[in-house]
Structures are given as structure tokens and as C-alpha cells.
């Protein structure tokens, strides 16, 4: 049993983190509010509590990382989230990003391919009372049973945008994803103009762990 405590010190550190994000160019008030509210230190292993509010990524087990707060804020801002929108996240990881989206009023569906991370998020997130729906599987396939989605967020480096995800997006909807085969990816925002017309814009360079295309891993 992990003992969770959100102290004044943690709250103060979150305020500072939000100030840092504003300085780095994040302006969406709803994104900033969600980051100020959610105790990011709950999502890190206890050894890293000291660092939870630095603007850095951190290991979360199974060779994966919780994205840097700036990256979470940047992707969420690009998604342009409205309340009640249906959002599909690929790469649940710690579940922090999913909770940010849920805090903003989105109806969140999130897929993770590493069983241990899926299970950890599945038992932990309900304790925070976020109604996020979690799935174990390969994000390349999306979630056809729950499509279409208003927004789709990929939080791992995608060599390309999977066709299934484009199909599961509503017309007028948006996909945000770091795209690239090497160490560094370009942040891409894709708006679905019609069944087969997508408008792409690019938003700088980022570094993510890879989106792996294979069967989901059972450990």
C-alpha cells in the first residue's frame, strides 16, 4: 500500500512548475489548471518524489518513462480539449497524461501494451477517482469498439500515424503524435477534414520512447 500525501510543499512545487510551463510558452489555462491540481508525485516511484515537480521525464518501470511536464502540457494544448470530448490515448504509461485529460473534462480511453504498467494504472487511477477507461493491447489497432473519437493522442514515438487511428477519428477531429523513426521526432497535429483528407502541421522536435508494433507484452 502506497501512502499518498499531497502536502503544502507539493502544492507549492506544482505552482512553481506551472510558472515554468508558462515561461516555456504554455498558455492554455485549462491545461495549466489540471497540472496545478494533479499530484504528479503520486505517479512516480517513491525514490523520485523529490524530482516530481522538475520539468523532466522519469522512469516508471518496464523501461518506460512518464513524459516531461512540458511535453504533457504541449501535447494537451495542441489537442485543444473541450469538455465531454472522447479522447483516445495511445501509451497509458503511468496514467498521468490520461488524468490530465480527464481533469479537463474529456472522456478518456487509454491503451497500454506493457501488462505491468497497464495493471499498475488500472489499480491506481480509480483511487484518484478519474473515470479513465484503460485497455491492455496494441495501440496501432486503436479501439474500434469505442470509435469514433474527437481527439487521439499518441504518447510514444510513432514511425508513422497508424491507418486504424485515422479511421477511428471523427471528421473535424485531431490526432497529435510525435512522428519519426530515429531518436528525435517531429510533433505533428493532424486534422481530419474529410474521410480521406488530413491537414498536417508540425510543432517542433521532441524525444519519446518508441511506439512498438507487435503483440502486447504479458509482463
Tell whether residue 158 is a contact of ligand SAH (CB under 6 A).
no
**CB neighbour class for 106 (10 Å; exposed up to 12, middle 13-18, buried from 19):** buried
Widest Cα–Cα separation across the chain: 50
- x/- site string to ligand SAH, residues 31 to 70, per CB under 6 A? ---------------------------------xxxx---
Among 96, 109, 149, 206, binds ligand SAH (CB under 6 A): 96
189 has catalytic annotation: no
Site size with ligand SAH, rule: CB under 6 A: 24
Among 26, 38, 106, 117, binds ligand SAH (CB under 6 A): 117
Among 93, 173, 178, 180, binds ligand SAH (CB under 6 A): 93
Cα separation, 46 vs 92, in Å, equals 19
CB of 141 to ligand SAH, least distance (A): 8
Orientation angle between helical segments 69-79 and 29-37, nearest 10 degrees: 140
Closest CA to 98 of 116, 122, 114: 122
Q: Which is nearer to ligand SAH, 28 or 89 (CB)?
A: 89
Whether the Cβ atoms of residue 65 and residue 58 lie closer than 8 Å to each other: yes
Residue number closest to ligand SAH, CB atom: 91
How many Cβ atoms from other residues are within 10 Å of residue 139's Cβ? 28
CB of 111 to ligand SAH, least distance (A): 5
**CB neighbour class for 99 (10 Å; exposed up to 12, middle 13-18, buried from 19):** buried
Cα separation, 217 vs 117, in Å, equals 10
| Chain centre to alpha carbon of residue 184 | 18
Indicate the SS3 state at residue 25. Answer: coil
Q: Which is nearer to ligand SAH, 91 or 173 (CB)?
A: 91
Tell whether residue 142 is a contact of ligand SAH (CB under 6 A).
no
Tell whether residue 120 is a contact of ligand SAH (CB under 6 A).
no
CB of 67 to ligand SAH, least distance (A): 5
CB of 86 to ligand SAH, least distance (A): 17
Rule CB under 6 A: which residues touch ligand SAH?
Answer: 64-67, 90-91, 93-94, 96-97, 111-114, 117, 138-140, 155-156, 209, 211-213
Amino acid at each position: 500500500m502506497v501512502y499518498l500525501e499531497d502536502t503544502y510543499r507539493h502544492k507549492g512545487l506544482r505552482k512553481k512548475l506551472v510558472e515554468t510551463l508558462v515561461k516555456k510558452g504554455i498558455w492554455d489555462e485549462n491545461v495549466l489548471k489540471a497540472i496545478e491540481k494533479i499530484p504528479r508525485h503520486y505517479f512516480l516511484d517513491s525514490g523520485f518524489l523529490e524530482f516530481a515537480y522538475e520539468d523532466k521525464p522519469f522512469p516508471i518501470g518496464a523501461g518506460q518513462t512518464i513524459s516531461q511536464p512540458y511535453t504533457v502540457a504541449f501535447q494537451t494544448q495542441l489537442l485543444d480539449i473541450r469538455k465531454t470530448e472522447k479522447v483516445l490515448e495511445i501509451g497509458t504509461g503511468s496514467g498521468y497524461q490520461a488524468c490530465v485529460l480527464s481533469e479537463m473534462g474529456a472522456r478518456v480511453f487509454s491503451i497500454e501494451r506493457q501488462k505491468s504498467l497497464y495493471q499498475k494504472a488500472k489499480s491506481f487511477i480509480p483511487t484518484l477517482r478519474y473515470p479513465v477507461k484503460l485497455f491492455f493491447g496494441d495501440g496501432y489497432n486503436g479501439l474500434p469498439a469505442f470509435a469514433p473519437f474527437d481527439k487521439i493522442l499518441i504518447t510514444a514515438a510513432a514511425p508513422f500515424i497508424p491507418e486504424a487511428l485515422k479511421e477511428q477519428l471523427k471528421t473535424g477531429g485531431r490526432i497529435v503524435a510525435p512522428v519519426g523513426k530515429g531518436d528525435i521526432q517531429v510533433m505533428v497535429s493532424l486534422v481530419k477534414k474529410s474521410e480521406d483528407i488530413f491537414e498536417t502541421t508540425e510543432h517542433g522536435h521532441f524525444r519519446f520512447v518508441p511506439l512498438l508494433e507487435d503483440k502486447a507484452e504479458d509482463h
